[in-house]
Amino acid sequence: MKKTLILAAIAALVVAAPVSAQANNMSFFITSTGPGNGANLGGVRGADQHCQNLAYAKGFGDASWRAYLSTIAMGGEAAVNARDRIGDGPWHNYAGDMVAQNVSDLHSNDANLTKESILTENGDMVNGRGDSPNMHDILTGSTMDGMVSTADGHDACANWTSDGEGSAAVGHHDRQGGGQNPTSWNSAHGSRGCSQSDLQGTGGNGFYYCFAIDANEQEAFREE
């Protein structure tokens, strides 16, 4: 009788456990929250740290996380392309689904990037067009091929230090909406400005993408 009760309790725990949360291969997510200061992310390093902190809180802090953000040449520093910051892949979302095999795949039509697959570090979908509020504008500062965008006065919001003047390229994680490239996940149009109210006014909330740069090493470790 006692053995039966123990087995029943174990079975109940297995059913209740969030299976996708323990897939142990999350190497990509969209932030569930921004720093709350518009596009002032504390620079790209501050954005990286925010990715690291969010991942750490969910048990994925052993990986090295980077924000998918480009920066312009400024202050003696060379421009940086988002595609060059994120490692080689492959990358999986919270549910364990592969979103892209490598950098080329990520920036192709074969990438598995939809509202349903672009999940937060908590495994949640982010509001898109038709939801209230709409939060589908995702900060990238990039072109569709992952290079730094300087079109239309884009300055990556002073390289992610401005919460006022400036502009940055944003993508649509739900792959719909307006702009020059409305179905692009990383370069749909430019932001109205860099403040939190500016980002929210055009359908955003200061979110961005995070990638584990050592995803391949994590894969190899899990396969041993």
* pLDDT tens digits along 44-87: 999 999 999 999 999 999 999 999 999 999 999 999 999 999 99
Q: Give ∠ CA 38-42-48 in degrees, rounded to 5.
A: 105
Q: Give ∠ CA 219-44-54 in degrees, rounded to 5.
A: 50
pTM > 0.75: yes
Percent of the chain with pLDDT strictly greater than 90: 82
Residue with token string 């307006």: 178
Give the alpha-carbon dihedral of 95, 188, 83, 73, to 10 degrees. -140
Query: Residue 179 corresponds to which tokens in the numbers above?
Result: 């702009």
Separation of first and last alpha carbons in the chain? 39
Query: Residue 220 corresponds to which tokens in the numbers above?
Result: 């190899």
Asked whether 166 and 39 are in contact (CB, 8 A), the reply is yes
Per-residue pLDDT tens over the stretch 17-29: 333 344 579 999 9
Q: Which structural domains are found in the chain, ordered by start? A: 26-223 (3.10.100.10)
Query: Residue 217 corresponds to which tokens in the numbers above?
Result: 């090493």
Per-residue pLDDT tens over the stretch 151-205: 888 999 999 999 999 999 999 999 999 999 999 999 999 999 999 999 999 999 9
